[in-house]
Amino acid sequence: MTFAEENYLKTIFYLEQEATEGVSTSAIADYLDTRAASVSDMLQKLAKKELIEYKKYYGAILTHNGRNHAILVIRRHRLWETFLVEKLHFGWEEVHEVAEQLEHIKSEKLINAMDKMLGYPKIDPHGDPIPDANGNFTKIEKRLLADCEEKWTGTIVGVKDTSSDFLKILDRKQINLGTVFYILNKEKYDGSIRLKIEDESIALSQKMASNIYIKVISMQNSE
């Protein structure tokens, strides 16, 4: 299987999580920043290999075999991210692009050995679940910070946007996985949020809050 085919399967897997029906050609094109015509050609190739079910205008759905391939690529990607952070001391903002390259190394022995060396981690540095060797994900209780209300207390458990630019902003604001916060204020006008983290007051735009996953600790006033 080519690198491009693996990337398409992984993309369809991600987009299926939010799609109510098949994943559209335009959604895949937007995600991969490519032309719709190129997407259609690739989907036809994947359908011939029985990795997806695809009908024009109805979108693509992973077959059982296609889903297994996608999960394997995701497993390799997230384990490499974890390895780079824990063993080579990369920043969490640095590892995504590197893991995009390393995820195509197909040695199952290498991946399983790395998993064991890391202690069989359940989540990667961005808070995403790592599939185990059988393709099972650990379910993580989370919701978007943007959906929370004033006076709630919670913990940062993940990010939706793994881009370097976004993660660097979080670093500057000293927001990381495990950070505990209290919502001081949420503006009705634009959805912006002000958090209390330790003794600091930190402002976040609605866009930023829509890319941060949290676990609620309390929905009551902590003061």
Query: 173, exposed or middle or buried, with CB in 10 Å at 0-12, 13-18, 19+?
Result: middle
- 130-180 pLDDT tens trace: 999 999 999 889 999 999 999 999 999 999 999 999 999 999 999 999 999
206 SS3 class: helix
CA dist 39 and 23 (Å) reads 11
CB 95 within 8 A of CB 81: yes
CB 126 within 8 A of CB 158: yes
Three-point CA angle 205, 210, 216, nearest 5° = 105
Q: List alpha helices for the chain, DSSP H.
A: 3-16, 25-32, 36-48, 64-86, 95-102, 108-117, 164-172, 206-209
Give the pLDDT score at 110. Answer: 97
Q: Give CA 121 to chain center in angstroms.
A: 16
The residues pairing with 144 across neighbouring beta strands, listed in sequence order, are 213
Give the pLDDT score at 221. Answer: 57
- Phi and psi for 45 in degrees, rounded to 5? -65, -45
CA dist 45 and 140 (Å) reads 34
Parts of the chain with a pLDDT under 70: 221-223
Would you tell me how many other CB atoms lie within 10 Å of the CB of residue 13?
18
- Looking at the chain, the domain(s) classified CATH 1.10.10.10 span 3-62
- Looking at the chain, the domain(s) classified CATH 2.30.30.90 span 143-218
Give the pLDDT score at 27. Answer: 95
Give the pLDDT score at 21. Answer: 85
Q: What is the DSSP annotation of 69-81?
A: HHHHHHHHHHHHH
Question: Which CATH superfamily does the domain covering 143-218 fall into?
Answer: Ferrous iron transport protein A (FeoA) (2.30.30.90)
CB 131 within 8 A of CB 101: no
Sequence-ordered list of residues with C-beta below 8 angstroms from that of 104, at least 6 positions apart, any chain? 3, 6, 73, 76
CATH of 3-62, one of 2.60.40.10, 3.40.228.10, 1.10.10.10, 2.20.130.10: 1.10.10.10
- Which tokens go with 211? 């890319």
